[in-house]
Amino acid sequence: MLTIAQITDLHVTTTADPLNQMRNEQRLRQVLRAIHELKPRPVAIIASGDLVDHGEPAEYEALKAILADTDIPIYYAVGNHDRRAPFLEAFGGPFAPVDENGLVQYAVVFEGLRMVVCDTLEEGRDRSGFDQVRAAWLNRTLDADRTTPTIVVMHHPPILSGVRWMDPEPDAPWIGLLAEVLRGRENLRGVLCGHVHRAFQGMLGGQLIATAPASSIQVTLNLTPVDMERPDGREILTAEPPGYVLVMADEGRVTTHVCVAGEFEPAVAYTRPFGFT
């Protein structure tokens, strides 16, 4: 058995924004502590985008400082709040390689699990940048190994959460393009995403799509209709506890756990044999 932790939407920033700087750093550190205390300890962490809040070099330096004490290998994806040039200046290398088009996308093989990271960043826009070039890359990369259990990691989810102001258009061309790449792949165990700051799941192209909670603040779960041009005073973000996802791979089976980070009192100890009568 091996495990990999997914963290997402860190939104690390600087003292130019003191409230978010302090809050997002504290919450990220809380998530990292929880991951380090897992049994067994994960073999890797994948940070699936929106690593910082504005894509600024100083923010990536702040993130490096926070991660300096992490002794679990961390792989990276980029999200709509990131910018590739300063990100690559700070983190480029074996844990965030680029393809022939300069996109942050690559594959990593662990024992019994393959992770394929796809770049969906379109700089200057919140929406997904998944296009024909990226579809061709993902198709080739998935075709290269049709046996090893595989997960795909990308920032933008191609399914609807029901929180209208966060969702893509349901008929967006990139969603259909991705569905065709995913369809019929028997060794694909799912697509892990971020972006929405909530955990939810759905299906696309016959595959499970699972979105992780943020380490930063969460999106409020309000599924009522909203006029995108008329603010109505509703709460849109909430200080629910920070979270992460744990991926477990065991003899070809892949399971994901949605986890809450925090300090919790033990409730029951294992002091007598389990009975199944």
Look at residue 275 and tell me whether its pLDDT is greater than 90.
no
160-165 long-range CB contacts below 8 Å, 24 or more apart?
160/202, 161/196, 161/198, 161/200, 161/211, 161/219, 162/223, 163/196, 163/198, 163/219, 163/220, 163/221, 163/222, 163/223, 164/225, 164/226, 164/228, 165/226, 165/228, 165/236
Look at residue 274 and tell me whether its pLDDT is greater than 90.
no
Structure tokens, 271: 């002091």
Q: What is the pTM of this model?
A: 0.96
Q: Which of 27-41, 74-88, 258-272 has the lowest mean pLDDT?
A: 258-272
Whole-number pLDDT of residue 277: 57
Whole-number pLDDT of residue 167: 97
Whole-number pLDDT of residue 155: 98
Q: Give the span between the Cα atoms of 196 and 156, in whole angstroms.
A: 8
Instruction: Say if CB 204 and CB 159 are below 8 A apart.
Output: yes
Average pLDDT for residues 176-181, to the nearest whole number?
Answer: 98
Domains of the chain in start order, with CATH, are 2-260 (3.60.21.10)
Look at residue 152 and tell me whether its pLDDT is greater than 70.
yes
The per-residue pLDDT of the chain, averaged, comes to 96
> Which ranges in the chain belong to alpha helices (H)?
18-36, 57-67, 84-91, 132-143, 173-182
Residue with the bigger pLDDT between 174 and 273: it is 174
* Residues 203-254: tens digit of each pLDDT: 999 999 999 999 999 999 999 999 999 999 999 999 999 999 999 999 999 9
Average pLDDT for residues 86-110, to the nearest whole number?
Answer: 97
Average pLDDT for residues 123-130, to the nearest whole number?
Answer: 95
Whole-number pLDDT of residue 276: 65
Whole-number pLDDT of residue 3: 98
